Structure 1
Amino acid sequence: MKLRWLFLALLGYASAGSPSMFGEVTSPNYPQVYPSSALETWNIQVPDGYGIRLYFIHLDIEPSENCEYDSLQVIIGNEVQQVFCGRHSFGSSGFPKEKFYPTTRMKLSFRSDFSNQERHTGFAAYYVAEDVDECDTANPCSHFCNNYIGGFFCSCPPEYELQEDQNTCGVNCSGGLYTDLRGQISSPGYPSPYPENSRCGYKVVLEWGYQVILTFKAQDFDIEAPEDGKCIYDSLIIKAKGKKFGPYCGKTPPPRIETGSNEVDIDFITDSGGDNKGWNIYYSEYAIPCPTDVFKNSILNPRKDKYFFKDVITVKCKEGYETVLNQKRLPSFRTKCQGDGTWSPIHKCEPVNCGDPDEIDNGEVDFTDSTYGSKAVYKCRTEYYTLIGDDTFHCSGEGLWINSNNKSELPKCIGVCGKTSLSQKGRIFGGEKAKKGYFPWLVRIVMTSNFGGGSLISDGWVVTAAHVLPEGEMPTLQVGDVDYRHAKTIQAKKVIIHPDWPNADDEDERKNYNNDIALIQLAKRIELDECISPICLPEKGDTSRPAVREVGYIAGWGKAKPNKTKVLVNEPKILQYTGVPLHDLEKCKTDKAKAYTFTSNMLCAGGDGHDSCQGDSGGPLMYEDRKNNDYKRFYIAGIVSWGIKCGEMGMYTKVRNYVDWIEKTIEEVENEEKKEEQPEPVKVCKNV
């Protein structure tokens, strides 16, 4: 016994820091009485290549049938191997004997119930690591097993090699390459029995354009197989062009195999048993055809019943189908029959898809599908916009949405212009208050030191006078209400002065107002509605309007005087308006005005107390468009520019002369901004 303990001590010292080579396990309070309701577990682990030998020097656990009260369990994995209980003297017939467990891990679990009245003292046990003879217990090697303390190794006969798993011996029979157009391939040693535990690989590579044909004879096929024929022992597998044939086994050979490829892999796998002679394969060549049904929904030219290696055809998709390559549509493509029986290049004829039709500003598009022949219909969102252009498009065979004229240019929803509810006349210099709906395009332009007027000509642009806008300042605009205190404030994004507006050293002394016109781009577009909409521009080419003595309207928040008084008062909060007649330009060249410049870019209107005044500059001179039969509408003929004295005849910029400049300028700016992300339109009306 002393020698054993010395051996255990040496082993324990040598194994410090690793799974223990030995150890002691005792019950709680040992050698005193163990407590009631106890539960304790010990996990035992020894190094790999060893097992655990367990022995007791003391056992005194309350006895019961099947050890139901108190017990010590030996557990390996999830299974209980032994259960101990009872009172036994060391060396007696009932005392547990030493036992060896061929495992590196073990769990001991002790439990007691609610009482220990007889004062049992529990147990004391020792474990020690003991070498496992793997060759004797598991026989892990296919041929020769060699045991050593803590492990084992396998070895093979001279004609065999140890495989990657380090347990199995097999014959290296891979690497056979066959390139002749015809030939035979056999298993190792055929017709003698083939070797065990082997993986053999053979490869047939024929000239490009031929496929490999494999045939078998009944007398040349004998591979070990179980009774159910599932080829779980030995098997022959053929692989070609991504296809797999087999596995095959038994004495019945496979049928003739047309591999469809000029390259074939043959794999033969064997296990550790059997005494079968193996197999012999005959291989030959056959020209590989290309299929005729690959290009669905297409027209092939030339059309043949069969195509073979090196045949070239042109593929064109049928009407309503297309080939898309790298996001480019191909009207047709040429392809060649390859040696492996495939066409190259190969593309699909897919249904033409025009994608979702483009959206338009202030409009909607209704469609259910986007493939060839589908229809899309555009409309404007509200009655305050009108659609310009064709409203119906269809998906064409070219993958484009086109209208009835085969054009792809989208319609536009532009604001309904010049719409008014005005039905009476009044005055602005001592004039009447405008009501909502009279002039929904009127804009109050606010600067740091002054203010003026302007006219909305689209949902994103305002036209005004150049002299209203001081250089270097970006104005704000009040829109949507005749009372500017309740109006919506909109920020300006860009100010564009007419390029021919003359410079002046002192604006207060300016005498030349030729080309007095400017455009203001809004920072955000306006959602047109009942309280705000644009005024129309004059029609190009119509020089007959407005005519001399024809009465138009002016409106603004500039200085005014009450009826029956000649004293100017502060600017009104409510928009004022009046009617003014148009005069011949020569009539306006009075002695007082001789110092000023007169040009054909100007109009002269007003008089007799009907006139614009300070604060009205930039506002519109408006006339009714009598050619329109749909609704009463106004166009802007002039812009309040200059005058000698409020109440007398005033001068206006003649807008008709600038329609081309207005349209071209707006188009250029908006084209530059097409790629920019546009903010959501501003909603101005409060009662909607």
Structure 2
Amino acid sequence: MWMVMWRGILLFSPSLHFLLILHLHHPHIHFVSGKRIWSNEVLSCNEVIEAQRGPEGEWMGLRGNITSPDFPHPYPARIQCRVDLKAPPGYRIRLVFTHFHLFHPLNRSNDNCEAMDALTVLDWAGTGTGGTGGRIGRFCGPGIPSSVMSSGSRLTLNFRSITSGTHVTGYKAEYSFVRDFGLSSGRQLDSHPCFFQFNSTIFPSGEICSPNPGGLYPRNTVCHYEFRGHPRQRVRLVFKYFDVEGVAPCSAKSDSDYLQFSTIGTKEDILPRRCGRFAPKVVESEGPDFLLSFRSNDKYDGLGFAAKYQFVWRKDREKDKGVLRPRSLPASEASEGKENPIITLSAILVFWRLPSLLLMPL
């Protein structure tokens, strides 16, 4: 039994010759790689996309496009399609969606996706050959999802349709096998998969981001951002947004991802770890050498962070007020996120003066 897809309709014939004649008269008919599962009337299709070595040993096929069946036309009902992406060792897989419109009776994005036409993205890092992929996201309805990045070299997309419609055109995504984590600033070191250096003579100012900027950061990832400046320079960070999954004090007990600030060469001069959605708007180092460390675990993810950085001279630094600078904290106090005693004392004085302030004549 042979089959082709024509305008969203499956045509079956015991003769391949008949289908070839039909294709010649109707060039828009294209053959479907898959099989019909008669028990539940579902079309199953699978595809594997992986990079290949070129004639000189270079990697080829590091980027391309993935689409739902029949894109940009409406996809068929009752199908299950799986795409396995396999990057070379040491590479990550990044997905950037450019179109997304699946059928949803209420036309809502990512609402009750378990019972709707949906696209599920699975991450296989650390699961072994026989393991089960960890779900990064499940998307349904209209609206373009955020970009996605794997934590290893393998990613799977499972597309399932229960129904369809004349207006639902499916999805399109650009995939790329990357080693730079989607980051373009600084100098990436070969000694660590995610280590970026910023020298003030080469990169005096710019922007730093968590891996996969604009989308969810990958799980099981450690990234370092190292700043090296002139002895009279300091590093200033101005955060644009901050969304790192976790709860204060961002310790291992709470399974929190976190961002940590430290001065290179000492373990004491640090700020408490930062996680959640609140971060100091401005941070400035005490010395010319500064290190940011970002860590994510295998449980949750967020949009990460973005900040503008600048190497400033000491004379410019003395004019600023309200800038949060690292102070010497014992490592135990920094990791537990203890309160500043000056802030606590100020709060006590305010409450102590409150009754007299309320009795003052207007």
TM-score (norm 2): 0.30
Higher RCO, 1 vs 2 (CA within 8 Å, ≥6 residues apart): 2
TM-score (norm 1): 0.17
Structure 1 or 2: larger helix share? 2
Look at both structures and tell me which one has the larger radius of gyration over its CA atoms: 1
